[in-house]
Amino acid sequence: MKHLPFWFLPCIAAAALLAQPAWGADNICGFRARGLDLNFGTLNPSVNAEVRAPLVTLTTFANQAGDCSNGNMTISVSGGNSRQMAGGGADGMGTINYTIVGLPVTLSKPGNAPPGNPGNGYVNWFTTGEVEGVVQWSAFADAPADSYTDSFTVVVNP
């Protein structure tokens, strides 16, 4: 067997590093949420009605290093769909409960990207549809006038 010389070892180590995709953590079978902010706008407690806010359009993607060729992926809200916004005003006391609807959702994987697609890594897009936030009137009927915020994590598995 013919062996490589010692001086070639650093070249192989460098090749191992270059094998990492240029787009790093994006190089998976995953999704992107477009229109990320969920904004309920101004809640008027004198109008007795629930308020629905379009959340995001979830769009799955795959690229050549991610395994999107078989099975399903599930997109869900980490910690569950029942959420709570907190007031940020001087009193700091108010909270408003709300719910995420449309998740979890199970989707067929869109298939892997063809090779030779370096750089952006986003291919095989398809849209899952709108996900909404819903706040019931009873949740803000007695809330102090204030600005309320929250954040949550949407996760796809596997």
Task: Give contact residues for other proteins (rule: CB under 8 A).
Answer: 1, 3-4, 6, 9, 12-13, 15-16, 19-21, 25, 27-33, 36-46, 48, 55-56, 65-67, 78, 83, 85, 91, 94, 96, 98, 133, 135, 138, 140-158
DSSP 6: G
- Give the other-Cβ count within 10 Å of 110's Cβ: 20
Give the H/E segment covering residue 13. Answer: helix 9-18
Q: Are 65 and 28 in contact (CB under 8 A)?
A: yes
- Give the other-Cβ count within 10 Å of 27's Cβ: 17
Q: Which is nearer to other proteins, 114 or 158 (CB)?
A: 158
* Least distance CB 64 / other proteins (angstroms): 10
* Least distance CB 135 / other proteins (angstroms): 7
Angle at CA 57, nearest 5°, toward 65 and 135? 135
* Least distance CB 17 / other proteins (angstroms): 9
Q: Which is nearer to other proteins, 104 or 146 (CB)?
A: 146
* Least distance CB 109 / other proteins (angstroms): 12
130 pairs with which residues across the strands? Answer: 57
